[in-house]
Amino acid sequence: MPLTLIIGGGWSAIAAAITSAEHGATVLVVEERGYLGGRARSFVDRASGDEIDNGQHVMMGCYRDFIGILTTLGTLGLLERQSALRVAFVDATGLHDVLDASSLPGRMGIVLGLLQLKGIRLKSRLAAVRLAAAISLGWASGKGLSCAEFLNKHHQPSDVIERFWEPVVLATINATLHLASAELLVEVMKLAFLGSRTDSQLMIPTAGLSALIEPFPAWLQRSGGSVRTSVSVDKLVVDASAVRWAYLSDGTVVDVDAVISCVPQRALERLLEASNITSSLPPEPPSSPIVSVYLWYSSPWMPYDFSAALGTTIQWVFDKRRVQSGLVALTVSSGTSLVSEHVDTVIEKCDQELRTLFPELTGVRLLRGVVLKEKQATPLLMPTNVSSRPETRALESVATNLLIAGDWTQTRLPATLEGAVRSGISAANALRRK
């Protein structure tokens, strides 16, 4: 049987491996770290013994490829799905708003939910609904525009930008309005918020992210493949315009029929240089950080499963009671301002902001905190580079059986789990068509 080498062990690699195995290939997954999952995994916090994620993730019903992978692995039940989109918005004035799309089916539920937001003027709510309708009908293009330019072009008032559009952009694109590509915002709105009711439903993990992929090595073994961690691919050998051999860090030489690289661009370019393969990839975009903060409190207090925080450094707050009573997770996308701050300063700032946002915290003690800084969390996808992301087949000119995948490739989506999985499936399908 043909051997397909998958380089990397993140979500794109897992998707590529499952799809390749389903196509009949023998698959070898090689991951240089000692764990699978890449930037979307969980680990045990030593002090508390609780399993926490290296960054909070929320999935949506429109994540069809991602859902398909979990269905194959039998772990879809670890996601708790909303019956309809419901998102809370809180600010320091004490106003708690809830966008509830449950009253009507599909996009009409989203429209009604927008119209019922109390913190936004009616004129502004109507402007947002008009733009949503234009996006849904294909009348609003974000090509070549930042989100700020796009929203200004479509006459969105400042209050609806601050209380609706900006939280959406930060959460999905991990970039500020002035930098984020509006092409991606339009795609997110079409797929997630303006589709069916099931498309817009949010899905919250009830276990650590690593639990979602825990069955993968055994699944792959049953399909005739294998996973090797703590081993790297050090060199690829090309002969007659195809990769023929791969040299691993433990001294093993592997005969390969195809290779799918699922590592970040900088890691791929190091491998290509070590292999004397000329890269035809476009310049790597800059990175955008995400800061995640876990806070343990003396008792549970969070009134929502999760909420957007407005006018604060904190952007999203998640109740992690399914992991531990009193535990909350905070995220700051495009979190450049926090990356250089001491962890104690970050914890104190986040606790103070939470107490301003939530009167429920009165009398509740902060026990401890953990700060996770992912400095290269996602590529910074801007109008100047979003269309130049490389396709799955970008390296075929130097090796016909060498393909690439990852959330940084041309998925037409932001750098999300769905984008990563979609890219892995696309690469495996491209091999099948050869």
Q: Are residues 110 and 153 in the same domain?
A: yes
Distances in whole angstroms, Cα of residue 226 to Cα of each of 222, 248, 299, 421: 9, 15, 44, 19
Q: Are residues 290 and 279 in the same domain?
A: no
The pLDDT value recorded for residue 369 is 96
> What token pair was written down for 170?
């930060």
Q: Are residues 279 and 148 in the same domain?
A: no
Structurally, the chain folds into a number of domains equal to 3
Element (H, E) at 17: helix 11-22
Element (H, E) at 164: none
Residue 149 · residue 125 · CB < 8 Å = no
In this structure, is residue 174 part of a structural domain? yes
Non-local CB neighbours of 227 within 8 Å, separated by 6+ positions: 9, 29, 31, 36, 216, 217, 220, 221
Distances in whole angstroms, Cα of residue 199 to Cα of each of 204, 241, 418, 432: 14, 42, 13, 29
Cα separation, 12 vs 420, whole angstroms: 5
Q: Are residues 177 and 299 in the same domain?
A: no
Domain end point (choices 171, 199, 227): 199
Residue 288 · residue 334 · CB < 8 Å = yes
Per DSSP, the three-state class of 88 is strand
Looking only at the bridges linking them, the beta strands covering 242-248 and 233-239 are antiparallel
Domain that includes residue 394, residue range: 3-43+209-284+389-432
In this structure, is residue 191 part of a structural domain? yes
In this structure, is residue 75 part of a structural domain? no
Q: Are residues 158 and 226 in the same domain?
A: no
Residue 238 · residue 398 · CB < 8 Å = yes
Q: Are residues 406 and 375 in the same domain?
A: no
In this structure, is residue 59 part of a structural domain? no
Q: How would you write the pLDDT of the chain (434 residues) with one tens digit per residue? A: 579 999 999 999 999 999 999 999 999 999 999 999 999 999 999 999 999 999 888 899 999 999 999 999 999 999 999 888 899 999 988 889 999 988 887 788 888 999 999 999 999 999 999 999 999 889 999 999 999 999 999 999 999 999 999 999 999 999 999 999 999 999 999 988 777 778 888 998 889 999 999 999 999 999 999 999 999 999 999 999 999 999 999 999 999 999 999 999 999 999 999 999 988 899 999 999 999 999 999 999 999 999 999 999 999 999 998 888 999 999 999 988 899 999 999 999 999 999 999 999 999 999 999 999 999 999 999 999 999 999 999 998 889 999 999 999 999 999 999 999 999 999 999 987 66
Domain with residue 340: its CATH number is 3.90.660.10
Q: Are residues 262 and 343 in the same domain?
A: no
Q: Are residues 250 and 393 in the same domain?
A: yes
Domain with residue 7: its CATH number is 3.50.50.60
Q: Of 138, 82, 129, 80, whose CA–CA distance to 107 is shortest?
A: 129
Q: Are residues 109 and 191 in the same domain?
A: yes
Q: Are residues 303 and 371 in the same domain?
A: yes
Cα separation, 308 vs 88, whole angstroms: 6
CA atoms within a 13 Å half-sphere pointing along the CA-CB vector of 392: 23
In this structure, is residue 116 part of a structural domain? yes
Residue 225 · residue 260 · CB < 8 Å = no
